[in-house]
Amino acid sequence: MDPAETAELYKRLGRARRVAVLTGAGVSAESGVPTFRGADGLWRKYRAEDLATPEAFRRDPKLVWEWYDWRRQLIARCQPNPAHQAIAFLERRSQDFLLITQNVDGLHRLAGSIRMVELHGNIWRVRCLEEGKTTENLDVPLQAIPPRCECGGLLRPDVVWFGEALPPEALQEAFDAAESCDVLLVVGTSAVVQPAASLPMVARQRGAYVVEVNLEPTPLTSLANESHHGKAAEILPRLLAFDSAFRNPHSAFEGPGGPCSP
Ligand code: BJW
């Protein structure tokens, strides 16, 4: 990690009024949640159009639910990792903060993040196709596949599939944050799925300092002010001085820009 870049991020965070973080599947990789793309990604074993589209669900709801039931069982065994914890720490250290996640696993909330929007929904919620009502469902494994609502209607996972609109309020909040933040951290996303992939571009155009953390280069890398390549669970705690802040809780962001909170 380049010390000059770390110092610059520290300075920016110290001065920032608004901080935003965009996360993708890579932030949960070290918790044991598979990513979508890449060598071990879900899309290597499964075809996205067979499982993550409304057409796939209409064609074969049982098949789609079996996949989600398998993923829910896997995620239920996972815990937040130091990357999730460092982001929750950054929220507590920031005046105005928004976490924008594409992940559906719920691990950010378990790590203590509060101010967040889930752009692609949440795997622990279901939606009734008859009533449109959304409810929490934590059954692991599911009691029946496909699960049904009390009204008899078919339930679907409350996630966003390809070709579907994102939750409008969450999307608006995400774009507002991208347009107005001083610093945007982009962690563990391939930055190819729209509209989330546009958020770093918007932030950069509006003058934000954009920092990427990813195992490998992405389409965002050339545009970001800083790119750090490696595991998020190792890089983020160091980058945000989360580990040293545990030893000295007053140290974080007291860099050249002064302490973060007034
Ligand atoms: C690590 C790491 C470690 C690993 N540390 N890093 C052409 C142009 C523009 C748009 C389109 C287009 N063609 C089609 C579209 C639209 C489409 C789209 O963007 N497609 C692209 C693939 C081309 N988008 C949509 O359809 C969206 N809706 C939409 O556009 O609606 C329009 C509309 C408006 C009004 C009415 C109706 C419609 C919806 C997108 C929904 C995406 N859904 C999914 C599934 C969610 C549910 C579920 O989980 O089952 O969301 S797909 C999947 O991709 C999931 C993710 O959230 C999303 C993004 O993936 P992510 O998080 O980036 O993961 P990966 O695996 O891609 O990357 C992981 C990264 O981590 C890698 O870079 C690794 O290197 C890194 N990494 N380990 C750090 N330890």
| Gap from CA of 28 to ligand 1 centroid (Å) | 15
- The answer, yes or no, to whether any atom of ligand 1 lies below 6 A from the CB of 190, is yes
Using DSSP's 3-state secondary structure scheme, residue 117 falls into strand
Q: How many CB atoms lie within 10 A of CB 146?
A: 19
Backbone angles phi, psi at 177, to 5 degrees: -65, -40
Per the annotation, the verdict on 120 as an active-site residue is yes
- Give the CA count within 13 Å in the CB-facing half-sphere of 152: 0
| Gap from CA of 179 to ligand 1 centroid (Å) | 21
- Which tokens is 70 given? 């398998």
Q: Are 5 and 226 in contact (CB under 8 A)?
A: yes
The vertex-51 CA angle with 81 and 169, nearest 5°, equals 65
Dist CA 192 CA 218 (whole Å):
9
Cis peptide upstream of residue 195 (ω within 30 degrees of 0): yes
pLDDT of residue 186: 98
- The answer, yes or no, to whether any atom of ligand 1 lies below 6 A from the CB of 165, is yes
pLDDT of residue 250: 54
Answer whether residue 152 shows pLDDT above 70: yes
The set of residues, in sequence order, having a beta carbon less than 8 Å from that of 108 and lying 6+ positions away, is 23, 27, 80, 84, 87, 88, 99, 101, 116
Q: Which domains does the chain have, with CATH numbers?
A: 3-32+80-120+164-247 (3.40.50.1220), 39-77+124-159 (3.30.1600.10)
- Which tokens is 191 given? 């930055």
Using DSSP's 3-state secondary structure scheme, residue 33 falls into coil
The string of pLDDT tens digits covering residues 85-122 is 999 999 999 999 999 999 999 999 999 999 999 999 99
Cis peptide upstream of residue 141 (ω within 30 degrees of 0): yes
Ligand 1, residue 231: give the atom nearest the CA.
Answer: 5
Q: Amino acid identity, residue 58?
A: R
- Residue of minimum CA distance from atom 32 in ligand 1: 165
| Gap from CA of 24 to ligand 1 centroid (Å) | 8
Ligand 1, residue 41: give the atom nearest the CA.
Answer: 66
Given 108, 120, 228, 229, the catalytic residue: 120
- The answer, yes or no, to whether any atom of ligand 1 lies below 6 A from the CB of 49, is no
Answer whether residue 249 shows pLDDT above 70: no
Which residue in 154, 155, 161 sits closest to 135, CA to CA? 155
The string of pLDDT tens digits covering residues 16-67 is 999 999 999 999 999 999 999 988 899 888 888 889 999 999 999 999 999 9
pTM for the model: 0.94
- The answer, yes or no, to whether any atom of ligand 1 lies below 6 A from the CB of 82, is no
Which residue in 136, 92, 120, 154 sits closest to 28, CA to CA? 120
Which residue in 153, 182, 145 sits closest to 19, CA to CA? 182
- The answer, yes or no, to whether any atom of ligand 1 lies below 6 A from the CB of 24, is yes
Dist CA 230 CA 227 (whole Å):
10
| Gap from CA of 192 to ligand 1 centroid (Å) | 6
- Give the mean model confidence (pLDDT) for residues 187-208: 98
Q: How far is CA 184 from CA 7, 51, 60, 178, 203, in A?
A: 16, 32, 39, 7, 7
